[in-house]
Amino acid sequence: MDASNHTTVMEFILLSISVHLEEQPFIAVLLSTMYLVALLGNSLMITLILTDQHLHTPMYFFLSILSVVDMSYSSVIVPKMLSILLSTKKIISFSECITQLYFFVAFGLTEMFLLAVMAYDRYVAICNPMHYTMVMSGKACSFMVAGSWGIAALNSLLHAVLISGLSFCGSNIIHYFFCDIPPLLKLSCSDTSIYEIALFIEASVIGLGPFLCVLISYVHIIATILKVQSSAGRHKAFSTCSSHLTVVSLFYGTIVFNYFCPSSAYSLERDIVITVMYTVVTPMLNPLIYSLRNKEVKGALSRIITKRTCLQNI
């Protein structure tokens, strides 16, 4: 397409979740509530892990980082989404769009890698308990977290640079509620065929790597648990990874359903609902899942409440 016949796009118009004005306040209140619950829940989880000595283990170290990522993940999307819902100005500048895209991809990939690291942690704890302290040392844990952040940041930077290099000279309306790669590719008047092929290959490698790590880890974990003779022993072993398995199922389930559904079954409404699931609902549910299904977290919360009660009575 000849870009000289078009005005270069310097800003985009983001369509809100609901096109009906009367529904927007209700959706805004609902999203605000879920966002606040996500912030409070993850902040509480981080506080518990930092202050309670019983939770100073590799598993809870990874969980604290996951909580930071969840809060950041939601914060990239929700505030702008709310401003669009509650304002007549539904504009995002080109630079803001690319920035939002960068952090969205970076935090999403970081969470994916962290879930794989946490699965490996559970694999070592259950399948090789005698070597757990040596394998999951403080240095090794820090290296795995830094690697997750680093790979995600570099990968996200690559996408941000490539998207920035595309020409946008036609419509500036994004049929979505935030800047994601597929909607921007659809708007571009550049030839994106090569980038789309490279994106598919790269996403398959980057996405399947952590997923296979989770899958292989749990195959070994389940095989080890089934070898335990007592039902009490099997229950105890499985309880140490049930919360993580629930979070993994929720996170990967929504992403797989969103990105791997046949294009013939695509609808904007369904895509928006599923995207809200893994950008807002999942970060909100993660701390609840770990607190409700984990005796150590509930114990830490109980100790903090008891300590504060005692201090107030003095």
Angle at the Cα of 59 (from 36 to 157), degrees rounded to 5?
Answer: 65
- pLDDT in the model for residue 6: 44
Could you tell me where the beta strands, DSSP code E, fall in 60-124?
Answer: 91-93
Distances (CA, A) of 121 to 46, 115, 196: 19, 10, 34
pLDDT of residue 313: 61
**Length of the chain in residues, anyone?**
314
What pTM did the predictor assign?
0.86
Using 70 as the pLDDT threshold, list the residues of the chain that sit under it. Answer: 1-9, 16-22, 256-272, 292-294, 307-314
The CATH number, out of the four listed (3.40.50.720, 1.20.1070.10, 1.10.4100.10, 3.40.50.150), of the domain defined by the range 3-313: 1.20.1070.10
Question: Residue ranges per domain, the chain?
Answer: 3-313
Question: For the chain, what is the mean pLDDT?
Answer: 81
> What angle (nearest 5°) sits at the alpha carbon of residue 133, between those of residues 283 and 57?
35
Q: What is the pLDDT of residues 287-296, one digit of tens each?
A: 888 776 667 7
> What is d(CA 203, CA 152) in angstroms, rounded to the nearest whole number?
12
Residue 282 in contact with residue 254, Cβ under 8 Å?
A: yes
Position 2 scores a pLDDT of 44
Using one digit for the tens of pLDDT, what is the confidence trace for 34-68? 999 999 999 988 988 888 888 888 988 999 999 99
Would you call 165 helix, strand, or coil by DSSP? coil
Residues 73, 142: Cα–Cα separation, whole Å? 21
pLDDT of residue 236: 72
* Axis crossing angle, helix 282-292 with helix 242-259, rounded to the nearest 10: 160
CA distance 79 to 258: 23
Specify the pLDDT at position 260.
58
pLDDT of residue 7: 46
Residues 6+ apart with CB under 8 A from 165: none
What pLDDT is stored for residue 192 in this prediction? 80
